[in-house]
Structure 1
Amino acid sequence: MASKNELRRYRANLADELHSAAIYETLARVEKEADRKRTFAELASSERQHAQVWADKLRANHQRVRTGPSIKTGLMKALVRAFGPRFVLPSLAAAEFADRNKYAGNPDTAKMSADEHHHASVVQAMANDGKPAATKGAEIANAESWHRGVSSGNDLRAAVLGANDGLVSNFCLIMGVAGAGTQNKAILLTALAGIIAGACSMALGEWLSVTNARELAKTQIQKEADELEHTPEAEEHELRLIYRAKGLDSEEASRVASQIMRDKDKALDALTREELGLDPAELGGNPWSAAGVSFCLFAVGAVFPAMPFLWSSGQFAIVQCIGLSVLALAAIGVFTSLFNGRSAGFSAVRQIVIGLAAAAFTFGVGRLLGVSVS
């Protein structure tokens, strides 16, 4: 009979494998390209086989096996259907990368461990539009950029966190003003001002951040281009050292570096990616679109706690504000569970507790200030 900890691990692994299988099956149904559709179907089949292993272990220990979809699974499937595979692939690639070693070191799961590493590589390649590497050196370079590709450019994470900023900040602002005993009209005006001011601030901050990042990247790339023009031997030596550090032997590193240096454009691209850690095609994204998205996401989150004051007033409006904000906080918590590795329930409860604690603090400060001023 397995121990309680082992049974808990079996259940967690079963849930993870069922979740992955369901997502890959949905991706296979939605995907239009035949090769990618077939790959998703193969991944789903592999995950189902893994799930069967853990289900068999639970049954062998006379445990009930639950195979129904979780809230997280249903939410991810809905996102796939609504926005398509490419919207969720970065989050999926991040999850596969984080879990690639979860079966390592156990002889009983050696094959599954190898499968997980393979899945992580495949999903990452598909998240990068499946662009093949031309050389072994390029493959290593692609592996090195894994962390940047997974951790950056994640639209889902940015959307959730942007909406969370708007929700929590305006919820706290409204509760602080309400705590001071302010009239309903003043609370509503404060909430609307908070939405506009916060959204504008977020948009401006995002625009400046992306613009500065792009300008810095362009400056660094230009310096690299100048060095490539005036000291090509030194740049080839740098490439050779980079590929040596990535695991190539001296001869192959020299061959790859020499081949890349034959084309100045390719050499600059390689040096930009390898030495500077930048993607020449992106350079931080478009500052105007980033600003617009930040404005909208903040406003969407901030509008929830303000809505009750449009049709209600007094204590009843405050209660509705708290209730609506709690629901929104729970929804954001569920969304964050898609990329933080936690369960949907845990993430929702944590989000609610933190949001309510912040709102309670500002309400208390508002009450103290309101009493002292009056």
Structure 2
Amino acid sequence: MVSLKSIQTEVDVCYLYQILAENEKDPNVAAVFKQMSAIEHSHALAFLAKNNLDESHLPNPSGRAKALHWIGKCFGYDYILGVLLDTEKSVSSSILKARKQSQTQESISDTAHVAILKNILNSSSNVSGANLARFEKRHRSVGGNALRAAVLGGNDGLVSNFSLVMGIAGATGGQDEVLLAGMAGLLAGALSMALGEWISVKSSQELYENQMQLEMEELETNPEGEQQELALIYMAKGIPEVQAKAMAAELMQNKSQAHELLIKEELGINPEDLKGSAMEAALTSFFLFAIGAIIPVFPFFFWGGMQAVIISTVFSAAGLFLIGAAITLFTGKSVWFSGMRQVVFGLAAAAITFGIGKLIGVSVAG
């Protein structure tokens, strides 16, 4: 028997592949997505048959799949590709684990979908260079994960400032004191996140640029050695030695292309990574943290005392639940489980700091 969750997963993946196909401009890639969607649909029907159910019992796409569709509309459908690759990897991993436990022979189809998606992301076969650059950039942003970063950035701001606000509220009980501490915590945390992100991006760019410059100098001062390195790179990919040397010699006719290949293969650097703006990353981190951090502070603009504490707790709990629910877009776990887990951990942290604040307040007052 196959679980209903597995059937739902197949339906969701089928739905998302179809969405990608409908919104893909490259006809070759669109055709791949359509066929992938059809394959997932056939899997869902096969699973239904194993459960002695007919097609009328096929479920509709889940709320998670529809939310990803909405995200695709807002941020571009390429964002869905990274989530699908993660899903396919998870499914393949489960299949391989089950085969290992049952001691059955592995099949090429076990990891076929992962291989196809990786080929779309990494292969130049039948896919234009412009589309490849677009796919690589989008996949890195999802699975280097702009959306995950957004969720986690908001979570950091909410949990840290919620705990801070509750600690001050427990110690003083005063509205002005909590507002001052809460806004200070928001600005300090957001500025720290922004500065850290700016330094991280900027230092990485400077390091990469320096390494790239050194590689170009080596290419100009020792072209024979670099040509030999190119040949070895091709040979490591399984290309015969004679052909590898010929390809390396041809590539050396264009030093910029040779340089690009060398920095990718030797240094693991993709020039696309250097195009990101350090200031843009810093501002994004600042605002994501601030959005989460303002939630527990907001009630204290209008209320004070225990009433404000209760309202802040309700607002923060709602925010924590939404963050937990948002995380399920990437994990596929239950919305209620992930949401409530986030609420429990967040409330526990706030309760501890509130209690410590109470003890400190009583001690100081005494």
Same fold by TM-score, threshold 0.5 exceeded? yes
TM-score by length of 2: 0.84
1:164 and 1:329 in contact (8 A); partners too: yes
The letter of the residue matching 1:86 is: D
Backbone CA RMSD of aligned residues: 3.2
| 1:353 aligned onto 2:344 | yes
| 1:273 aligned onto 2:264 | yes
- What residue is the counterpart of 1:15 in the other structure? 8
Higher mean C-alpha deviation, range 276-285 or range 292-301: 276-285
Correspondence for 1:205 among 186, 196, 203: 196
2:169 and 2:309 in contact (8 A); partners too: yes
- What residue is the counterpart of 1:55 in the other structure? 48
Correspondence for 1:368 among 345, 359, 366: 359
Query: In 1, distance between residues paired with 2:346 and 2:275?
Result: 31
| Mapping 1:266-305, distance limit 5 Å | 266-283=257-274, 285-305=276-296
- What residue is the counterpart of 2:117 in the other structure? 120
2:29 and 2:127 in contact (8 A); partners too: no
| Mapping 1:1-374, distance limit 5 Å | 2=1, 7=2, 10-31=3-24, 37-59=30-52, 67-104=59-96, 105=99, 110=107, 112-113=109-110, 115-121=112-118, 124=121, 130-131=127-128, 149=140, 153-283=144-274, 285-374=276-365
Give 1:216 deviation, angstroms. Answer: 0.5
Query: In 2, distance between residues paired with 1:290 and 1:53?
Result: 46
Segments of 5+ residues of structure 2 without an aligned counterpart are none
The letter of the residue matching 2:20 is: L
Distance 1:249 1:207, change over 3 A: same
Identical amino acids, percent of aligned pairs: 38
Query: In 2, distance between residues paired with 1:346 and 1:258?
Result: 58
User: Over residues 258-280 of structure 1, what are the superposed CA-to-partner deviations in whole Å (9 max), with x where a residue is unaligned?
Assistant: 33222110111001111111111
Higher mean C-alpha deviation, range 284-293 or range 249-258: 249-258
Distance 1:131 1:272, change over 3 A: farther
TM-score by length of 1: 0.82
Higher mean C-alpha deviation, range 203-212 or range 46-55: 46-55
User: Over residues 164-188 of structure 1, what are the superposed CA-to-partner deviations in whole Å (9 max), with x where a residue is unaligned?
Assistant: 1111111111111112133012212
Higher mean C-alpha deviation, range 34-43 or range 271-280: 34-43
Query: In 2, distance between residues paired with 1:99 and 1:251?
Result: 40
Query: In 2, distance between residues paired with 1:195 and 1:40?
Result: 44
Query: In 2, distance between residues paired with 1:178 and 1:66?
Result: 52
1:91 and 1:154 in contact (8 A); partners too: no
Query: In 1, distance between residues paired with 2:165 and 2:292?
Result: 13
Segments of 5+ residues of structure 1 without an aligned counterpart are 134-138, 140-144
Query: In 2, distance between residues paired with 1:194 and 1:203?
Result: 14
Query: In 1, distance between residues paired with 2:317 and 2:246?
Result: 60
Give 1:195 deviation, angstroms. Answer: 1.5
1:72 and 1:334 in contact (8 A); partners too: no
User: Over residues 269-320 of structure 1, what are the superposed CA-to-partner deviations in whole Å (9 max), with x where a residue is unaligned?
Assistant: 0011111111113227210111111111111111111222223222222122
Q: How many residues align?
A: 352
User: 1:283 is paired with a residue of what secondary structure?
Assistant: helix
Give 1:119 deviation, angstroms. Answer: 4.3
Distance 1:203 1:308, change over 3 A: same
User: Over residues 34-64 of structure 1, what are the superposed CA-to-partner deviations in whole Å (9 max), with x where a residue is unaligned?
Assistant: 555554333322221111122221226x9x9
User: 1:59 is paired with a residue of what secondary structure?
Assistant: coil
The letter of the residue matching 1:161 is: L
User: 1:276 is paired with a residue of what secondary structure?
Assistant: coil
Query: In 2, distance between residues paired with 1:21 and 1:80?
Result: 15
Query: In 2, distance between residues paired with 1:259 and 1:335?
Result: 49
Distance 1:291 1:16, change over 3 A: same
Give 1:13 deviation, angstroms. Answer: 2.3
Give 1:205 deviation, angstroms. Answer: 1.1
Query: In 1, distance between residues paired with 2:6 and 2:129?
Result: 31
Large movers: runs of 4+ above 6 Å:
106-109
Give 1:24 deviation, angstroms. Answer: 2.4
User: 1:180 is paired with a residue of what secondary structure?
Assistant: helix
Give 1:329 deviation, angstroms. Answer: 1.3
The letter of the residue matching 2:239 is: L
User: 1:262 is paired with a residue of what secondary structure?
Assistant: coil
